[in-house]
Chain A
Amino acid sequence: MIISLRKLTYEELKNQLSKEDKIVVWACNNCVKFCDKFGGRETMNNLAEKLKTDGYNVVRRELIGMSCVLDLVHLRAIEEATKKTFEEATVIIPLTCEDGYENLKYIFKDKKIIDVPKTIGLGILSTEWHTLRLSIPFEETGLKPPAEGMTLESAAKQLGIYAGPF
């Protein structure tokens, strides 16, 4: 599975939003759910609630099975149930990997897609940990995980970014 971390803190995220924005919190529910819960339903709901409490206009929480599948992203833009909301939205916060982020930019060209995720490699999942560990990092990261994999917290610390939910 893909390992994705977070480039922004919650405060940095808020700096990119305005109170007039119509915000969609968009969460992938596959790999990133296991990236210390960076994505998934629970994280999506928590972030949406947090933003609402801080006075932002969250118009939709969109959970998607896989944001890396372009067709599924495209469906959101055209199907009756969500089309209008997405037409009106101005900002999308992607809790996805970088593939998901790129797909969102491609499909929703007129929206501001916040640059949140940083994909750093591939990971392994076990019934013991219940979360992913980095096992095959991308070369550019310079990370060297041990055979049993590296925790995402440790990887994020070394890269100067963040792991897990906002």
Chain B
Amino acid sequence: MKRVYLIPNRCLGCEECIEACAKEHDWVGRNYVLWIDMVYAVQLRCAHCENAPCSIVCPVEAIKKTEEGAVVIDENVCIACGNCALVCPYGIPLFSEASKKMVKCDQCIDRQKEGEEPVCVRNCPTLALQFDEIEEYEAPKRERAARRILQAGSYLREILMPQEG
């Protein structure tokens, strides 16, 4: 299942993701940019958890996981009780004044069906947001870690004889 991942050191906090999301979804942006120490930006969005607590506690079963793996709110069923906001570990669901319903990221499932990536990913000017399978996201990290280990080994070989190391 593909998810949106953040590469934190690329995020400049420009909020283009929020603006793009708002334009795609009835002018209500469904992700967040938080500032830590007023200098470091962190973009937050729904993680589309496997056992999503929001879907477990929803009393009217308005929150379901789609075939594509996105956790979505059916706004026709939602009663805006806010239980999803209560249990979400990221604090993502928000109350829409316009629709009087709870809303959150649906990972742009309509765009995905047309073969496009989520709009926040498309608009991110620094490519801080990636839409990948977890394997594709982690593989480059493993390679970088492997290179560092290799370099550390090379350094050790310089100071230790092979039979000693």
Q: Which residue numbers of A lie inside 8 Å of B, CB to CB?
A: 29-30, 41, 63-66, 69, 72, 75, 79, 81-82, 125-127, 130
Chain B positions within 8 Å of A72 at CB level? 16, 123, 125
Interface size class of B (residues with CB under 8 A): 10 to 19
Q: Which residue numbers of B lie inside 8 Å of A, CB to CB?
A: 12-17, 19, 23-24, 27, 37-39, 123-125
New A-B contacts (6) at CB < 8 Å, excluding given A64-B14, A65-B124, A125-B39: A30-B13, A64-B19, A65-B19, A66-B14, A130-B38, A130-B39
A75-B39 contact, Cβ under 8 Å, with A29-B15, A30-B14: no
Measured in the bound complex, the distance between the Cα atoms of B12 and A69 in whole Å is: 14
| B36: nearest chain-A partner, CB-CB | A127
Measured in the bound complex, the distance between the Cα atoms of B15 and A28 in whole Å is: 10
| B19: nearest chain-A partner, CB-CB | A63
Chain B positions within 8 Å of A81 at CB level? 23-24, 27
Chain B positions within 8 Å of A79 at CB level? 23
Measured in the bound complex, the distance between the Cα atoms of B15 and A81 in whole Å is: 17
Q: State the Cβ distance, B101 to closest chain A Cβ, in Å.
A: 20
Measured in the bound complex, the distance between the Cα atoms of B17 and A110 in whole Å is: 28
Whether the Cβ atoms of B15 and A75 lie closer than 8 Å is no
